[in-house]
Amino acid sequence: MADKYYRLGCDIGGTFTDFVLLNDRTGEIKTGKCLTTPQDPSDAVEEGIRVLEATTPDFVAKLDELIHGTTLVINSIIERKGARTGLITTKGFRDVLEIAREMRYAPYGIFAEFPKPLIPRRYRVEVDERIRSDGSVIKALDPEEATETVRALLAMGVESIAVCLINSFENPAHELTIEEIVAREAPAVSVSISYRVLPQIKEYERTSTTVTNAYVKPLTGRYLSKLAGRLASIGFKGKLFIMLSSGGVTSVETAAEFPVRIIESGPTAAVIAGQYYGKHFNISEMFCFDMGGTTAKSCLIQKGVAGVVPTFEVGRVQRFMKGSGLTIQVPVVDLMEIGAGGGSIAKVSKMGTLQVGPESSGAAPGPICYGRGGADPCVTDADLLLGYLDPDYFLGGEMKLDKEGARRGVEERIAKPLGVSFIQAIWGIHDLINETMAGAAKTHIAEKGGNPKIVTIAAFGGAGPVHAYGLAKKLGSPRLLVPPNAGVGSALGFFTAPRAFDLLRSHKVSLTNAAFGEIEHIFRELEAEAAKILEKEAAHETIRYERSLDMRFVGQGSEVSVPVPAGDFTGLTKDDVRRSFDEVYEKLYGRTYPDSEAEFINFKVRATLPEKLLQLPRLEAGKDQSLDAAVKGERLAYSQIVRDFIPYTVYDRYKLFPGARFHGPAIIEERESTLIVGEDAHASTDEFGFLWVDLKGAGA
């Protein structure tokens, strides 16, 4: 609409809530940041909007879109604060949540713990029905028995019901009947059936995902409803979108129906921004690094594309041990999480060594220097004491930091117990968190076939630019990229994300026996379902569909994703499909097996609407294009090369001009983040205001 030309990105993190306001007419960007309010995240949303109104009066009435990312869903799972949920499953499958894949994540760990299921056993009930793998009925569902089963759960006080019956992805009739019974018996009770949430083969993954959706559905619905009402009360009349874990955005109605799709809502956005920048600057390999107050997330972007994986884990008992968490089978950007943020707590371990993270002080009380009652020294305290942060310019001066309090905390809790000097303690905290992140990053990059010595590191988040130089040194990476407004990079990333939704359906059939007309019918059903989901957002826009297949050799347990050309599937031959499968398989594993039979497992559709592209505003060239005008002064800060405090030149990022070049040691400050450049590196500013830092001798 002509009178609505603003878009607002709002990302609720564990410590801070970030805001980016974009004027689509002029390309002007304004940012904001405030502490997250864990008890009611919408408090911080309204507070941040009110602050932005002070500089842009009445923008709320001119908002076309508000795009929102939140950690609400993942936090409610980790903290077990979801709804009391019941599960209805096929007779004999009551314990599938505990049995899982019948694998131990630590084969030799006799005391290895497993995550407790979201639904205790007493709330898991069975119905005596059975459907074959081809969709035919062995034993029909008795509606009276199903009604009694539903009533039994309701009598236990459940707020939400998950329904996951065997082979319902081939024939959903029994699940649909139970859904109707729940709607009749208790219209106020939430229900999630696996045929709508995840109509996919593999029983544990399907049950776990459906249960997770049901567990968080009432909470998510209430929050999104409250948020929409609160926004309406302050004059917002535009469209509210939610960031998906897969890198797209969707309507608030869809997010409320499928909250399992927004578990990684916030962290994904920085990667999507990095992907956009990678394409813009034609960077073949980019390591996107987003370090906030609670965690650091990263992703390797190759040839301008961030990988999307079909499954991930939540709430791991052992944070970095694969298999120790709850399995969620939904498409998600291939992120790596590191228990490292500005609020990561430093302490003396049981072994008498320094340990940093994974525990975080969060937003309340936060690091000691926040002055909000925190007593544990954190990474931000160390960064402040190392001279990297200005206590009078944190968040642009809106939040004063208590340097002396941080000093006392480090002395009492780290330096004295370890018997080390104060400088060794603060540098140890900073360097150890960098080492932790570098170790995890090397593994992640290697798994994707990348090379850390050629990647460009893109730093986001309030703490990302502070630690990016140290991380690059440890990885041997030659270059850093720090975009404007890096401290609110996730919120900025919302504007580069497409409106999209991914759908999938399992149908196991060999390539030899497959009927391509039947496959085309499955694809068209998925596309019709996607159109219903996107129709509220589509207006008069054309929906674009991308098709793909999950295939494998008969007898294998894992699949590979094979892209399908646009157009009618019946126009392909079986030789065409086999050739595509062999190409993908050989690329991944180095060889293929021409004489072995291949089979279809899943049919997938990604539906997208045309993107509202973010036009990068160019940096205005001021009259005074001298570095002296951008210099704020000097500050003593720690040098990891000299191993002592040395003078760093401090620059005001907002006064840097296109083509500005300078050598380290330097500190470049903006409101939401601070970039550190060592004395062995030099920095430059391009026409869009991006800072490029080149490290001497790196990448060799």
Q: What are the DSSP calls for 140-163, one per residue? A: ---HHHHHHHHHHHHHTT-SEEEE
- Give the HSE-up count for residue 114: Cα atoms under 13 Å, Cβ half-sphere: 17
Question: For the CA atoms of 176, 178, 183, 186, what is the dihedral angle to 10 degrees?
Answer: -170
Domain 266-340+431-496 has CATH 3.30.420.40: yes
Window from 159-168, 291-300, 399-408 with minimum mean pLDDT: 291-300
Spans of all domains in the chain: 6-77+222-262, 80-213, 266-340+431-496, 500-608
- Give the Cα separation of 586 and 584 in Å (integer): 6
Residues 229-251 have pLDDT tens digits of: 999 998 898 889 898 888 888 88
Could you tell me which residue, 121 or 316, shows the higher pLDDT? 121
Q: Which residues contact 167 (CB under 8 A, 6 or more apart)?
A: 131, 132, 133, 135
Tokens matching residue 50: 């009110």
Q: Determine the 3-state secondary structure of 223 from DSSP.
A: helix
pLDDT for 295 beyond 80: no
Which tokens is 692 given? 């490029």
**Residue 700: per-residue pLDDT:** 37
Cβ atoms of 45 and 37 closer than 8 Å: no
Select from 620, 575, 622 the least CA-distant residue to 598.
575
Give the model's confidence band at 699: pLDDT under 50 very low, under 70 low, under 90 confident, else very high. Answer: very low
Quickly state the pLDDT bin for 697 (edges 50, 70, 90): low
Looking at the predicted structure, is the pLDDT value of residue 511 above 70? yes
Q: Both tokens of residue 198?
A: 């995840």
Q: What is the pLDDT of residues 13-26, one digit of tens each?
A: 767 788 889 888 88
- CATH number, domain 500-608: 3.30.1490
Is the omega angle on the peptide bond into residue 187 within 30 degrees of 0, that is, cis? Answer: no
**d(Cα 366, Cα 345) in Å, to the nearest integer?**
9
Residue where the block lists tokens 């006080």: 157
Q: How far apart are CA 224 and CA 237, in angstroms?
A: 15
pLDDT above 50: residue 660? yes
**Rounded distance, CA 423 to CA 235, Å?**
51
d(CA 680, CA 480): 13
Residue 320: pLDDT band with limits 50, 70, 90: low
* Cβ-based burial of 71 (10 A; exposed 0-12, middle 13-18, buried ≥19): buried
Helical ranges in 234-339 per DSSP H: 252-257, 265-280
Residue 2: predicted pLDDT:
60
Q: 3-state DSSP call for residue 356?
A: strand
For the chain, what percent of residues have pLDDT higher than 70?
96
Exposed, middle or buried, 399 (CB in 10 Å: 0-12/13-18/19+)? middle
Three-state SS for 558-606 is CCEEEEECCCCHHHCCHHHHHHHHHHHHHHHHCCCCCCCCEEEEEEEEE
pLDDT at 363: 64
Angle at 424 between CA 421 and CA 425, to 5 degrees: 90
Is residue 597 predicted with pLDDT exceeding 70? yes
Give the model's pLDDT for residue 539. Answer: 65
What band does 603 get if pLDDT is binned at 50, 70 and 90? very high
Q: What is the pLDDT of residues 675-692, one digit of tens each?
A: 999 999 999 999 988 999
pLDDT tens by residue, 49-101: 988 988 888 898 899 889 988 877 887 887 788 999 999 999 999 999 998 88
Average pLDDT for the chain:
88
- Residue 330 DSSP class: S
User: How many residues in total does the chain contain?
Assistant: 700
Distance CA 266, CA 294 (A): 13
**435 vs 45: CA distance, rounded Å:** 34
Q: Domain 6-77+222-262, CATH 3.30.420.40 — does that match? A: yes
Measure the CA angle with vertex 620, ends 616 and 623; round to 5°: 170
With a cut of 60, say whether residue 698 has pLDDT above it. no
Six token digits for residue 106: 């630590």
Average pLDDT over residues 326-352: 84
Please compute the mean of the pLDDT values over residues 635-649 and round it to a whole number.
95
266-340+431-496 has the same fold as 6-77+222-262: yes
Which residue in 564, 572, 563, 561 sits closest to 601, CA to CA? 561
Q: Does residue 535 carry a pLDDT above 70?
A: yes
Give the list of residues 6+ apart from residue 225 with CB closer than 8 angstroms, or none.
256
In the block, tokens 């720690």 appear at 638
Query: Is the link from the previous residue into 665 a cis peptide, with omega within 30 of 0?
Result: yes
Could you tell me if 86 and 151 are in contact, meaning their C-beta atoms sit under 8 angstroms apart?
A: no
109-131 mean pLDDT: 90
Does the pLDDT value for residue 542 go beyond 70? yes
- Cα 200 to the chain's mean position, in Å? 23
**Residue that is written with structure tokens 């126009």 in the block:** 571
Q: Which two tokens stand for residue 669?
A: 């400050």
- Please answer whether residues 185 and 151 qualify as being in contact, where contact means their C-beta atoms are separated by less than 8 angstroms: yes
Q: Which residues contact 516 (CB under 8 A, 6 or more apart)?
A: 569, 570, 572, 574
CA 187/CA 570 separation, integer angstroms: 43
Dist. CA 626–CA 691, nearest whole Å = 16
Domain 80-213 has CATH 1.10.20: no
- The 10 Å Cβ neighbour count of residue 151 is 13
CA terminus-to-terminus distance, the chain: 52
